[in-house]
Amino acid sequence: MKFTPRLRSIGVGLAAVTALGAGCTAAPNAIVKTDNYANQFDRFPVVGSVSYQNDYGASRGGGTRSHAGVDLMAKRGQKVVSVESGTITSKKYSSSCGYSLGISGDDGNYYLYCHLNGYASGIANGTRVWAGRQVGTVGSTGNASYAYPHLHLEMHRNGSYGSAMNPYYRLRNAEGRTGVLTSPPKGWR
């Protein structure tokens, strides 16, 4: 076969792409950080055994809406803690979210915890919470009443509800930072 300039260019291009791509494969189970907020929460939100996947953006309601958070499947009654320090700005029951909490984080983001079975003692609107403080327990309330118990966790940019961000990578990076902190860390305000 005669190599024309066009075929030679294609061959050189393919060789370059192959060489560049050779070192670009991700290790199995590696967390690929595809966003600019992929650090970690101060605490993982569910204490004990949990399973979850990156279901952010998945179709819900027969395709009428997108999933704005990540579902963490756990046993009913498992402890739920605040992922960041902040102030509880919403404690309510709704038909969709069930028993829920909204926390305005000191990091500037807003966190929504849905389908809780109940609230921890002392939790009310205006309550200051530290990362790791128990805020509730896993449940299946609201539109999850026929689903397995889980915590639906949403994260919204700059404290603004409606600007949802995918919390999955922060969750993955916070694995191992579990447990309830019964008193605030030194220097907490």
Chain segment 144-175, per-residue pLDDT in tens? 888 899 998 998 887 766 688 888 888 888 88
As a whole number of angstroms, the distance between CA 139 and CA 79 comes to 10
Q: Is residue 32 part of a domain?
A: no
As a whole number of angstroms, the distance between CA 37 and CA 143 comes to 29
User: How high is the pLDDT of residue 88?
Assistant: 97
User: How high is the pLDDT of residue 2?
Assistant: 46
Q: List the alpha helices (DSSP H) in 1-147.
A: 5-22
User: How high is the pLDDT of residue 166?
Assistant: 86
pTM of the model: 0.77
User: How high is the pLDDT of residue 160?
Assistant: 67
Q: Is residue 44 part of a domain?
A: no
User: How high is the pLDDT of residue 157?
Assistant: 83
Q: Considering the chain, what is the average pLDDT of its residues?
A: 78
Residues of the chain scoring pLDDT < 50: 1-36
Q: Is residue 2 part of a domain?
A: no
Q: Domains in the chain: how many in total?
A: 1
CATH number at residue 69: 2.70.70.10
Q: Is residue 147 part of a domain?
A: yes
Domain with 126, as residue range(s), is 51-174
Q: Is residue 66 part of a domain?
A: yes
User: How high is the pLDDT of residue 168?
Assistant: 83
As a whole number of angstroms, the distance between CA 26 and CA 18 comes to 15
117-121 long-range CB contacts below 8 Å, 24 or more apart? Answer: 117/76, 117/77, 117/141, 117/149, 119/91, 120/79
